[in-house]
Structures are given as structure tokens and as C-alpha cells.
Amino acid sequence: MEIGFIGLGQMGKPMALNLIKCGKQVIVNDIKPDAFAEFAELGAQATVKLQDIAACDIIFLSLPDTKAVKRLLLGENGLLGSLRKGQIVADLSTINYTASTELAEALAEKGVEFMDAPVSGMEASAIDGTLTIMCGGKKEIFEKLLPYFRCIGNNVFHMGSHGCGQLSKTINNLLFDINIAAFAELLPMAVKFGLDPEQIGSVINSSSGRSYASEFFIPRILKRNFSDGYPLEHAYKDLISGTELSAQFCIPLPVMHAATSTYQMAMLKGLGNKDKGAMVCVFEDLLGAYCRKD
């Protein structure tokens, strides 16, 4: 089967490369040809023209946000008009739950199958092919896609009907986001009261307060490295998705809303291009207490 892959960004590029390394026939597409050289070396076709992808049996998407996915599929000169019955679109992007179900309905009208399949794991996991993939859609379509998913991830879950993959990703990301916002305000408080930042970081990461987020970000905060993770301005979409679900379905999420305020303060401070660990800078400046190694 011929595979199309649209979106060669931080996560998309290594996923597409891993599909090729698994022996899959892949045509890659991006609006910027910067990443094409590496694919050409592997003998893969690369194109900036969306219509070159339209005939592929399976089309993977890895795009920045809901707006980008909807524009690509449903917008003027979008992909939907060129698709045919029996094709499969698998969306690896992280978009909101309701948009995902709407896209599935729009594609179904043309007989095109849809699978929301957001991935979890940072760039290193994408490179290693060890991502977690949460899938929403028909079980039989999931089974068809599973050999391809196993090229890019080692934990692949069918979570239910359309939208369930995105819903699972949103819940996971919100837990991650809330955790980072929590220690971003608590670490400066510890330093303000005279605790050594490196020692309190070690205590957290060897005690019940530890998490994947703390183990990843606290050592980088101490080194003042705020460039290893996903930028705040892009990650903010998860909090928007959570807020929309909270409002639409009348679900109280007070802790999430509090964490959202921390993200907003960081972005208003001009930290949007930094990773989530940079939220600590907001509270460091407020308290005049800085979390850095001596």
C-alpha cells in the first residue's frame, strides 16, 4: 500500500523516517522543503504539493493544531475534495475532541475512513520509535493501521470510537501540564525559604512528589535550560481543549483552570517560545528567588 505522510515537523519527521526504515513505501509532504534531503537519501519521494499525496491508500497527518488539520482537510483546495472511497486518514496530530469527531463525520460522507491517533512522548521517543499512540475509530481500521503504528510506537491502544484517541491524549497532557505548573510555583517558594534548589529537586525526584514531568524538567530548570521540550505557545492548545470540554459539557475542572492561569502568565511574560519548565521564571521573578545550580 502506498503511504502519504503530511507534516515533517519536530515529531512528524522522525515518525515518517521510521515508517520508511520499516520498509513502507512513503511519499512525504510539507509546505517547507527543508527536511526533504534526508528523505531523498532514503529513496523516498518528497513533495510540497498536497495533491501528490491525495491518491495514497493511507494518509498520515502530523500537524501543529486543530486549525491546521481542519484547513488541510476541509479548507479551500483542501484534501477532502480529492479523496476517494476506501482511503484511510490517520491523524497523529493533537487536536480537540469535538473537531476530531466532526472530521470523522465529514470524511465518512465520502466513504473515507478516519482514525484519530495522537501520540505521546517527546522528540526522543519519536526518533526511537517508542511513542505511545492512542487511537479512536473503527476497530477494523485500527487493525489495518496497527502494523504502521508499530513502526513509530511501542505502546498502541485502541481507546474506542472517533474522538476517543484525542480525549485520551487531552487527559494525559492535562495531567502533565498541571504537574509542571505545580512545581513551577513551589520550587521558587522553597528557595525563598532558604532551601538549596538542587537538594529540593533531588528530594522531589526521589520521593512521593516525583513524576515524569519533574524528572525531566527539574534538572533542566537548575541548568537554566528551557529549550528541550515542546514550546509553551504550542502546548497551550491542550489547556484550550480542556477548557472547551469543561464549558461545553459543564464539567468543573478547577485545578486545570488554575494551571491555565500559570501558562497564561508565562506567555504574557514573553516565554511562549520556551518549554514548559520556563513557567518557573514567573514565580522566580515574583519572589526574587531563583532555582539554579551554584
Burial class of residue 268, CB neighbours in 10 A (0-12, 13-18, 19+):
exposed
Q: Closest Cα to residue 278, out of 231, 243, 239, 238?
A: 231
Q: Which helix (H) or strand (E) holds 193?
A: none
Q: Report in angstroms the alpha-carbon separations of 269 from 88, 230, 232, 265, 281.
A: 42, 17, 12, 6, 9
Q: Cα separation of 141 and 103, whole Å?
A: 16
Quick check: 141 and 112 in contact, CB under 8 A? no
C-alpha 100/C-alpha 36 separation (Å) is 29
Q: Are 162 and 100 in contact (CB under 8 A)?
A: yes
Q: Is 169 a catalytic residue?
A: yes
Distance CA 100, CA 104 (A): 6
Please tell me the total number of residues recorded for the chain in this structure. 294
Q: Are strands 119-120 and 131-136 parallel, antiparallel or unpaired?
A: antiparallel
- CA atoms of 17 and 83, how far apart (whole Å): 24
Measured between its terminal Cα atoms, the distance across the chain in Å is: 56
Catalytic option among 13, 24, 169, 237 = 169
| Residue spans of alpha helices (H) in 112-211 | 123-128, 139-152, 164-192, 197-204
Active-site positions? 169
